[in-house]
A and B are shown apart, each in its own frame.
Chain A
Amino acid sequence: MLEARDLIKSYGRTRALTGASLHVEEGEIVAITGPSGSGKSTLLHCLAGIVRPESGEVLLDGRRIDTLDEPDLTRLRRESFGVVFQFGGLVPELTAAENVALPLLFNRHGRQESMTVAADWLARLEVSGCADQRSADLSGGQVQRVALARALATGPRVVFADEPTGALDSIGGEQVMKALVETARARRATVVLVTHDNRVAAYADREIALRDGAVLTGVGR
């Protein structure tokens, strides 16, 4: 369903990806692992259409997405992808509910409908209590759940999560991972997760191990 072929990407003189290839099936939960500097986040950003590779191909359902023009790529990201970052990436001035409603509003849903869907997702992730709090006032664990609700609210086919538990203690991280995995399985969403933590990687169906910008042979598929 989602595929990368020989991705190469550099930042200045540093080669982040040196020929990374992988294939993810529909509904699969995969963990991209590797030491810091191995290219995990860059690979995730290329797959999610946030960064364009210098060479190589990214395909969704067999169609290239790395060559789409900016408006088409933006639409694809908005409609088919959900993204969770390490520190949530919520808009601090908005409430938790407004943050979750935001991508729905971008997708031209009405305000009332967007807020109803947002409330529903906050309830599913057990953070209804902070719906009206500004996101700047939330705890780390609450921020990640709200970020997860925001990523899932549009019903994405693929959820990309970059170190989603990196800022949490182990029990907080476990709750976020459980919520992510259970919701993804229930909705048959595909999850691509980046983590350096083996205990987080153990939530995935499969590991894609990176070393020096490429997938370690014998581990990925």
Chain B
Amino acid sequence: MSTSFVLLGLLLERPKHGYELKKEHDHRLAGAKPLAYGQVYATLQRLERDGFAEVAETRQEGGPERAVYAITDAGRAELARWLDTVEPPAPYVASPLFARVAVAGKDADGYLVRQREAHLARMRELTAEKADGTPARVLAADYALQHLDADLRWIETALSRLKEETDA
């Protein structure tokens, strides 16, 4: 999963401890699901096991001991490889949205109209968030908006096709 690469990327700037990584992850990937602490530490341990990160020091500032992680040379190489890799264009046919229409067929139009409204309502929220968002938030909102827009255009095409089928 890409979480380990995102953490490696965040370590590129300087060594960081788990809590810092979680905070930065949630900020940079605004709109994505916040990272659970458990997942941060599990991922760091895996990166350490694979030789991509190492504990640079342990700090104790009043609270419990905190391990500060640093990226290794092997980690840098692994990160560079990931950054250069093109994702296979996913067909998205497994989307629950498409699955409903595939199952319901001609009776899907009521669902599609409601789904269309839900999509547009979310697009309105994202557009409003962009008005005074940080650059990271605007980028995240753009990404979500354009994907929702692609869904919406498919919904509109599907509605037209279902209508043609019904009229025929």
Between B117, B127, B149, B153, the greatest number of chain A beta carbons within 10 A of the residue's beta carbon is seen for B127
Are B123 and A219 touching (Cβ within 8 A)?
A: no
Q: Residue of B at shortest CB range from A207?
A: B120
Question: Which residues of chain B in 84-138 are interfacial with respect to chain A, using CB atoms and an 8 Å cutoff?
Answer: 113, 117, 119-120, 123-124, 126-127, 131
Are A202 and B160 touching (Cβ within 8 A)?
A: no
CB distance from A37 to the nearest CB of B (A): 11
Candidates A198, A204, A205; contact of B152 at CB < 8 Å? A198
Candidates A182, A201, A216; contact of B120 at CB < 8 Å? A201
Contacts A218-B113, A219-B113; A202 near B127 (Cβ below 8 A): yes
Are A202 and B124 touching (Cβ within 8 A)?
A: yes
Q: Does B50 contact A (CB under 8 A)?
A: no
CB distance from A44 to the nearest CB of B (A): 19
Are B149 and A199 touching (Cβ within 8 A)?
A: yes
Q: Residue of A at shortest CB range from B156?
A: A35
Bound-complex Cα distance A164 to B78 (A): 46
Q: Residue of A at shortest CB range from B153?
A: A198
Q: Does B71 contact A (CB under 8 A)?
A: no
Q: Residue of A at shortest CB range from B155?
A: A198
Question: Which residues of chain A in 165-221 are interfacial with respect to chain B, using CB atoms and an 8 Å cutoff?
Answer: 178, 182, 198-199, 201-205, 207, 216, 218-219
Q: Does B145 contact A (CB under 8 A)?
A: yes
Are B120 and A202 touching (Cβ within 8 A)?
A: yes
CB distance from B110 to the nearest CB of A (A): 9
Contacts A35-B156, A35-B160; A198 near B113 (Cβ below 8 A): no
Bound-complex Cα distance A207 to B124 (A): 10
Interface string of B28-59 (1 = CB under 8 A from A): 00000000000000000000000000000000
Residues in B with CB closer than 8 Å to A202 are 120, 123-124, 126-127, 145
Bound-complex Cα distance A182 to B132 (A): 12
Are A219 and B117 touching (Cβ within 8 A)?
A: yes
CB distance from B128 to the nearest CB of A (A): 9
CB distance from A46 to the nearest CB of B (A): 24
CB distance from B158 to the nearest CB of A (A): 13
Residues in A with CB closer than 8 Å to B153 are 198
CB distance from B35 to the nearest CB of A (A): 28
Instruction: Point out residues on B near A: beta carbons under 8 Å.
Output: 113, 117, 119-120, 123-124, 126-127, 131, 145-146, 148-149, 152-153, 156, 160
Known: A198-B119, A199-B127, A199-B145. 13 other contacts (CB 8 A): A182-B131, A198-B120, A198-B148, A198-B149, A199-B123, A201-B123, A202-B124, A202-B145, A203-B127, A204-B124, A207-B117, A216-B113, A219-B113
25 A-B pairs whose Cβ atoms sit less than 8 Å apart in the complex: A35-B160, A178-B131, A182-B131, A198-B119, A198-B120, A198-B148, A198-B149, A198-B152, A198-B153, A199-B123, A199-B127, A199-B149, A201-B120, A201-B123, A202-B123, A202-B124, A202-B127, A202-B145, A203-B124, A204-B124, A205-B124, A216-B113, A218-B113, A219-B113, A219-B117
